[in-house]
Structure formats: structure tokens, C-alpha cells
């Protein structure tokens, strides 16, 4: 089953049990999913407005959804997006994270205990990192994430976290991402960071590299292909090693041979 309403403003499936808001929207739903990916778009710091019919942050993620579909085709991977109730994070309300948790709850109810990857840009990256403590979540790919100094990172323990940030980003600062990554490694996460040279916050520069890298790294984290050697090595480095946090993103990320085994989730996760 394929959903084409990739703007993130049109719901699909049943409504949530709470408040009538359906946060989870399926884009790809195999008959027997063995893994899942949730894609989260960006937003604003403060806004209680609802995303409108033309949701540019949601449209920005359409290319990532397509790339993930191609990369995981035939592997039994369900792909969904999170539909926010509000455009903003809104301080302690953390609305985007609340909607992400609701989507994860619906995902677990529908698919069961399947390994799940969160892919988020900007505010969506913050929501993915905040929500990664859900028992289904095994990994996060955060794209130009919004990482305030006071955000918690303990929920990322035992997760694989890949953080990609353009060196020209003036909206969410790469230095904030590096500090959050270091704190997360100290808290027990396996973290690797890529610097996307020449790219800014909107991901417009080197957009093909953003798409390809996210899809291939996502497939690697789900066990569908080998991770690039530098990523595997960086994830295994000691928690206090700075070398894992600033890898240069190749202009053409290397292609590794796909694995044949389906992803599995540890029974004690």
C-alpha cells in the first residue's frame, strides 16, 4: 500500500484514540512489515497554528520518503510520516515530540514490536531525538537537528544515532549538534556525525547527497545493507572520542552490498 500525500497535511487510516488527531500517516505499508521508518519534518519554535494545505517543511521531506522507498523496496519496511497538530515546538509543550510519541504508539499497535528508525529534519530531528526512548526505536538519523543545550539525551542509550549537519547552517548550529552528540555518547548512545560541506539548513545544496546518504544509512541501520566502513568504525569508538562526530559526507556515498537477512529487534529491548 502506498500513500502519495507526502506533504504531511492529509491523514490516512483511522483516527487516534485521543483527541481525534491521527499523527501517523503511512506512505508505504507492506502486508507483513518487518521494520519501519518514520519521517519527521521541521517547523517553528513557537506556533499553535495548524499546518496548512501547502506545508513546505513537509514537502521538503518528500524526496527523503522517495529515496527510502527505493532503498528498502521489497524488504518489508513500512514507511510513515508524522502529522503535527501545530507548526511549533512551543516550549515545554514539546508538541512535535508528543505527536511523534503518539505516532509511535499507533505504529506499535498496528505492526507490533518491529525495529523502527526515526528520520527527522530540524524541529523533526529534535522530536526524533526526544522520542527515541520508545521500545521500538533502534536508531535515529537527525538532519540539521535543533539541539538546545538543555535537551535530554539519556533516552538515546543503546540507540544508533547518525547526525548530519551542513557547515553553512545559520538556523540550527552545527556546534550545538556536536555538543549534543558528545553528551549522547557519554549517556550510552552510539553516535556518528557527518559534516555536509557547502550545505545550509534548507538542505537545498547537495540535496541528492542528503537523499542518498539518508536512505543508504537508514538501510544500514535497519540491517538491510552494510554501513559505510567509516560509520561502523565511528560508532564503535569510545564515548569520549571526538573523531566520531565530524566525518565528511562523500559527494557520492559509497554503495555497499545489501544484506539478505531481515532486521530483527532484540527481545529485551
Grid coordinates representing 215?
536512505
User: 240: pLDDT confidence band, cut at 50, 70 and 90?
Assistant: confident
What pLDDT score was predicted for residue 242? 80
> With contact defined as beta carbons under 8 Å apart, do 143 and 203 qualify?
yes
pLDDT at residue 70, as a whole number: 97
Q: How confident is the model at residue 252 (pLDDT cuts 50, 70, 90)?
A: low
The structural domains of the chain, ordered by start, are 24-248 (3.40.50.1820)
Closest CA to 158 of 35, 265, 248: 265
The strand pair at 247-248 and 190-196 is best described as: parallel
Task: Answer whether 61's CB lies under 8 Å from 41's CB.
Answer: yes
Position 19 confidence tier, pLDDT thresholds 50, 70, 90: low
Q: pTM for the complete prediction?
A: 0.88
Helix axes 207-221, 62-72, angle to 10 degrees: 40
Question: What mean pLDDT is reported for the chain?
Answer: 89
Per-residue pLDDT, 152 = 98
Q: Which residues pair with 25 in a beta bridge?
A: 81
Amino acid at each position: 500500500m502506498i500513500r502519495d500525500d507526502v506533504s504531511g497535511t492529509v491523514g490516512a487510516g483511522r483516527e487516534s484514540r485521543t483527541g481525534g488527531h491521527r499523527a501517523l500517516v503511512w506512505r508505504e505499508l507492506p502486508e507483513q512489515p518487518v521494520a519501519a521508518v518514520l519521517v519527521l519534518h521541521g517547523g517553528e519554535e513557537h506556533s499553535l497554528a495548524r499546518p496548512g494545505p501547502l506545508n513546505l517543511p513537509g514537502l521538503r521531506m518528500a524526496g527523503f520518503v522517495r529515496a527510502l522507498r527505493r532503498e528498502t523496496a521489497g524488504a518489508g519496511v513500512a514507511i510513515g510520516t508524522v502529522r503535527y497538530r501545530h507548526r511549533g515546538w512551543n516550549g515545554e509543550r514539546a508538541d512535535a515530540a508528543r505527536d511523534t510519541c503518539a505516532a509511535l504508539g499507533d505504529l506499535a499497535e498496528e505492526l507490533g514490536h518491529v525495529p523502527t528508525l526515526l528520520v527527522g529534519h530540524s524541529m523533526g530531528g529534535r522530536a526524533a531525538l526526544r522520542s527515541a526512548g520508545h521500545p521500538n526505536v533502534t536508531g535515529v538519523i537527525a538532519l540539521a537537528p535543533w539541539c538546545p543545550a538543555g535537551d535530554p539525551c539519556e533516552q538515546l542509550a543503546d540507540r544508533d544515532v547518525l547526525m548530519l549537519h551542513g557547515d553553512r547552517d545559520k538556523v540550527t548550529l552545527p556546534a550545538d549538534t556536536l555538543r549534543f552528540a558528545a553528551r549522547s555518547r557519554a549517556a550510552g548512545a552510539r553516535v556518528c556525525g557527518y559534516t555536509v560541506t557547502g550545505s545550509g539548513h534548507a538542505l537545498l545544496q547537495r540535496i541528492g547527497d542528503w537523499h542518498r546518504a539518508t536512505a543508504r544509512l537508514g538501510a544500514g541501520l535497519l540491517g538491510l545493507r552494510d554501513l559505510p566502513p567509516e560509520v561502523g568504525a565511528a560508532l564503535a569508538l569510545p564515548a569520549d572520542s571526538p573523531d566520531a562526530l565530524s566525518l565528511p559526507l562523500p559527494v557520492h556515498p559509497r554503495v555497499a552490498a545489501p544484506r539478505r537477512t531481515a532486521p530483527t529487534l532484540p527481545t529485551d529491548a
